[in-house]
Structure 1
Amino acid sequence: MTAANFERALALALVHEGGYVDHPADPGGATNLGVTIGTLSDWLGRPATKAEVKALTKATVAPIYRRNYWNAVRGDELPSGIDYCVFDFAVNSGKGRAIPSLQRALSVADDGKLGPLTLAAAASKDAGQTIERICADRLAFLRRLSTWPTFGRGWSARVEGVRAEAMALAAFAVPTVSVETKPLAPPAPRNSGSPVIPPVPAAPVVQTGGLWSALKSLFRKVA
């Protein structure tokens, strides 16, 4: 549950998305670093060209991923591991698929509205179990697509990679610990003049000679 996870999630997503492609079987058309020509057109507010899609870099696509996908699934507010799992699903298939899948995994109403109830359920339930359920649901959805014969192998590898990485993020998440602190006791009052120097305890004095003389005197009186 940390904004820092976005950088990691984006880097992992871009590995799966790859570079520029324009596959005739891909309904998204020209795509580079996972950003389709349609997505780029929406971002620019005008029709984008294939040349502009080819020119995309990791730096230029990061804000698109942040607004369109990470923020859309409220990644900063989801538990670590679940944030990446839902984010990558949204990147691959849209938030309209990813959010209801999260909700089904949490056994809450899958209305596609990621609000306080969904966030509370995500925080209270086992992250590993939630991740497993989302990935299983995601794979089942992909298998139903007509393009599964063409892209199924790659999709399966991607979902398995997401599952493994999400589990690792969840396992290494640092829980928030509330530590109760008490104010320090105020220092003891002291004079404004010379500094107070604590006295040095005197070493014990053993007078063996005086003791022996007293004992001898006592013995003489007894005798």
Structure 2
Amino acid sequence: MAKGNMSACLPITLAYEGGFTSDRRDPGNWTGGAVGKGRLKGTKYGIAAASYPNLDIARLTIAEVTPIYERNYWRPLGAEALPSGLDLVTFDFGVNSGTVRAAKALQAVVGATIDGVIGSDTLKKAAASDVKQAIQSLCARRLGFLQGLKTWATFRGGWSKRVADVEARGVAMWLAASAHADPKGALSEEAAKADAISRKQRRSAGGTTALATGGAGSNAAVGGEINWLLIAGGVAVVVVVARLLVLKARQNRERAAAYEALAKVS
């Protein structure tokens, strides 16, 4: 079993992976990988019957799933050698969206060769990086990937809050490992920064909407006649921008809340 920080990281991830479920409509809960195929054994701690048909899913313990997560995620991501905090966000990303994707995102953040394989070069550059910035950048990339999925509209609430929480916990781990003089104050500062960004984005969204409703027709006249297609196109673009700003404002508000919650218990 891996040593180091895995014992602190795994419970955070497992809290999001969830307890036991046996919904008959979920193909992952069946040992045959399809609804009605094989036995209905369910899923627990993110371990599904479809992938582990021989396990007694309902009775799985943390001790039993730990080697699975170590083998399939922790070791492939080189998490044992990553700086504290960066190991958590990389590991949770890998569990949620695949180890290769998480590895490539980490490599992009620390400036290593992007090949999806965590080796000595990636680990060296991760160790030399601005760890807090790397944690936050990696979480931003992760959220960007999730937003591009077709299932984003369905799961965006849970995914967004998970990424915000994991980011804040990663920064808290980094602060603890670096023996920061005032971790509580540092977390509160990050909360304030995220809140300020959120407020600015909300104001920008409001201003953008006002521009769409108040200024759309001012430059849409062609030869003295109103070009309704130009107006419609302009308004549509502005609406998209406004919605994006609102989304980002909400996400930064969630980041602020996650940091502030940890500051209160630090």
Question: What TM-score, normalized by structure 2, do the two folds share?
Answer: 0.58
Secondary structure class of the residue paired with 2:177: coil
Aligned length in residues? 166
Match for residue 38 of structure 1?
50
Between Structure 1 and Structure 2, the one with more helix by share is 2
Paired residue for 2:127? Answer: 123
Letter in 1 for 2:16: H
Note closer, same or farther for the CA distance 1:75–1:111 as it changes in structure 2 (3 Å cut): same
Work out whether residues 38 and 48 of structure 1, in 8 Å CA contact, stay in contact via their aligned partners in 2: no
Distance 1:111 1:18, change over 3 A: same
- Are 2:136 and 1:132 aligned? yes
What does residue 48 of structure 1 align with? 54
Counterpart check, 1:159 vs 2:163: yes
Query: Tell me, what secondary structure is at the counterpart of 2:20?
Result: coil
* 8 Å contact from structure 1 (residues 73, 114) kept in 2: yes
Alignment of 1:56-67 (within 5 A): 56-67=60-71
* Alignment check: 8 A CA contact 1:81 1:165 kept: yes
The alignment partner of 1:111 has SS state of: coil
Give the distance between the partners of 1:23 and 1:147, measured in 2 at CA: 19
Cα deviation, residue 174, structure 1: 4.1
**Tell me, what secondary structure is at the counterpart of 1:114?**
coil
Query: How many Å apart are 1:58 and its aligned residue?
Result: 1.3
The answer to whether the 8 Å contact 2:100/2:117 transfers is no
Root mean square deviation of aligned Cα:
2.1
Q: Deviations over 1:165-209 (max 9, x none)?
A: 00011111148xxxxxxxxxxxxxxxxxxxxxxxxxxxxxxxxxx
**Structure 2 counterpart of 1:85, one-letter code:** V
Return closer, same or farther for 1:126/1:20 CA change in 2, 3 Å cut-off. same
Instruction: Check conservation: 2:22, 2:43, Cα contact below 8 A.
Output: yes
CA shift, 1:57, in A, is 1.7
Q: What's the offset of the Cα at 1:4?
A: 2.8
| One of 76, 82, 86 as aligned partner of 1:72 | 76
Unaligned runs of 5+ in 1: 42-46, 176-223
Aligned-residue offset at 1:55: 2.0
Counterpart position of 1:209: none
**CA separation of 1:125 and 1:141: change in aligned 2, threshold 3 A:** same
Partner AA of 2:54 in structure 1: A
Shift of 1:88: 0.6
Q: Would the alpha carbon gap of residues 132 and 149 (structure 1) be closer, same or farther in structure 2, given more than 3 Å must change?
A: same
Which protein has the larger Cα radius of gyration, Structure 1 or Structure 2? Answer: 1
Alpha-carbon shift at residue 32 of structure 1 (Å): 0.8
Alpha carbons of structure 1 residues 27 and 144: separation in structure 2 relative to 1, 3 Å: farther
CA distance in 1, matches of 2:152, 2:84: 30
CA–CA distance in 1 between the matches of 2:96 and 2:25?
15
Conserved 8 A contact 1:99-1:112: yes
Q: 1:99: which partner in 2?
A: 103
**Following the alignment from structure 2 to structure 1, what is the Cα–Cα distance between the partners of residues 119 and 160?**
30
Shift of 1:33: 0.7
AA partner of residue 116 (structure 1): S
1:160 Cα deviation after fit: 0.5
Compared with structure 1, are the counterparts of its residues 103 and 24 closer, same or farther at alpha carbon in structure 2 (3 Å cutoff)? farther
* Change in CA separation of 1:173 and 1:56 when aligned onto 2, cut-off 3 Å: same
> % of aligned pairs identical?
42
Whether 2:121 is the aligned partner of 1:109: answer no
In the alignment, which residue of structure 2 is the partner of 1:15?
A: 15
User: Paired residue for 2:201?
Assistant: none
Structure 1 residues 8 and 135, CA gap change in structure 2 (3 angstroms): same
- Residue 122 to residue 63, structure 1, CA distance change in 2 (3 Å): same
* Aligned-residue offset at 1:26: 6.4
Q: Which runs of 5+ in 2 are unaligned?
A: 30-41, 180-266
1:69 Cα deviation after fit: 1.0
Tell me if the contact between 1:142 and 1:148 (Cα under 8 Å) persists in the aligned partners. Answer: yes
Q: Which residue of 1 aligns with 2:259?
A: none
Give the superposition deviation at 1:17.
Answer: 1.2
Amino acid at match of 2:4: A
